[in-house]
Amino acid sequence: MKTPTFWQSNTPVSSALLPLSWLYGAGAKAHQKSAHPVKLSVPVICIGNLTAGGAGKTPVALYVGNMLKGKNIRAFFLSRGYGGKLSGPVLVDPQNHTARDVGDESMLLAGLLPTVVAKDRKKGAEFAIAQGAAAIVMDDGFQNFSLKKTLSLLVIDGKYGLGNGLMLPAGPLREAPETAFARADAAIIIDGNMALPPDLPVISAHATLDGVAVCGKKLLAFCGIARPQKFFDALGGAGASVTDTAAFPDHYPYKESDLNALIKKAAHLKATLATTAKDAVRLPASFKEKILVIPMELVFDRPEQLAHLIDSALAHEKN
């Protein structure tokens, strides 16, 4: 789906959907209260968000994965594999699996560390430990209560914030903010600021693109992510000349006809066709060499804040 524009403000549509939001909120509360989280023998670092899509969870997960890799810790990513058809538990094989099998985010994660996809996160964690995991990084696990978390990081898009402040489907919220803030050990705010509870540690970061790759280039940019305009704006900010754009629904499974049309249009505009790394894993193999993939990375204002939280989580499990 594409992120609804009415999620950013209070409109007649969001007002009409309020009764469904109340039901959703009641269900979310009941789900949390009835949960019996299992404690694992290894640290669990959970990365999630409060809103539906687009906050930057996966880039944060990759950053944390790189930190653990640098410490020579055998960490595994654990994902539900959103958009994939496999229920798991399964260890992602980037050479044989596709985004249709395990989801686009899992394919990205598997490029860095071993990644287990499992709809049942408890079974997935047990499978990862059996495969030798010494630590688990849960991507998009904040509203999953099957596991006890050693460290919970809440990722927030600073420009989007909490949208209109309403629960799904009237707004983008997955749960009440006060319950999410109470469970979080820290909030990572990407590209912006917002008011949060004073006792919640805040870590600031901003997303950057590879400016060398795009500066001065004439691009036709396309993507299927929750908030496409973020990518288009970032390209312009990195010095690219974005002559045209095409926005697809989040996690969109590209068809050859879509891509052939884009390639034809780019040729007509004498522009380079460009997309995100997350979109690239959903491209048919025959098109990957025809499209420029623009990598994105996070830069933390004070990286030692996150490093301290990670070290504390690892030390906690040893004691």
Do 102 and 170 belong together in one domain?
yes
Clarify whether residues 192 and 53 are in a common domain.
yes
Residues 28, 118, single domain; the answer is yes
312 and 285, same structural domain?
no
- Of 105, 299, 289, 306, the residue nearest 211 (C-alpha): 299
Flag whether 10 is in a domain.
no
- What local confidence, expressed as pLDDT, does residue 35 receive? 86
Structural domain includes residue 5:
no
pLDDT of residue 212: 72
Mark whether 199 and 223 lie in a shared domain.
no
Question: Mean pLDDT: which of 124-133, 161-170, 232-241 is highest?
Answer: 124-133
Domains held by the chain: number = 2
| CA nearest to 201, candidates 302, 58, 318, 65 | 302
Both 279 and 308 in a single domain?
no
Q: pLDDT band for position 319 (50/70/90)?
A: low
Residue 1 located in a structural domain? no
Asked if 283 and 259 sit in the same domain, the reply is: yes
The answer to whether residue 2 sits within a structural domain is no
Do the domain assignments include residue 138?
A: yes
Same-domain status, 184 and 237: no
Which residue in 18, 57, 1 sits closest to 248, CA to CA?
1
Query: Is residue 3, in this structure, part of any structural domain at all?
Result: no
What percent of the chain shows pLDDT beyond 90?
A: 61
CATH code at position 52: 3.40.50.300
Q: What is the pLDDT of residue 152?
A: 96
pLDDT value, residue 238: 86
74/178 same-domain check: yes
Share above pLDDT 70 across residues of the chain, in percent, rounded to a whole number: 98
Same domain, 59 and 191: yes
Pair (152, 290) in one structural domain = no
Question: What predicted TM-score, i.e. pTM, was given to this entire model?
Answer: 0.90
For residues 121 and 24, membership in a common domain is answered with yes
What contacts 269, CB < 8 A, 6 or more positions away? 218, 220, 243, 244
Mean pLDDT across the stretch 115-124?
A: 95
Q: What is the pLDDT of residue 248?
A: 92
Please say if the pLDDT value at position 223 is more than 60.
Answer: yes
**Domain encompassing residue 266:** 211-294
Quick check: is 4 in a domain? Answer: no
Q: pLDDT tens-digit profile of 58-85?
A: 899 999 999 999 999 999 999 988 888 8
Of the listed ranges 2-6, 23-27, 130-134, 230-234, the least confidently predicted one is: 2-6
Q: Domain with 248 in it: what CATH number? A: 3.40.50.2300
Tens of pLDDT, residues 261-293: 999 999 999 999 999 998 998 998 888 889 999
Three-state DSSP class for 228? helix
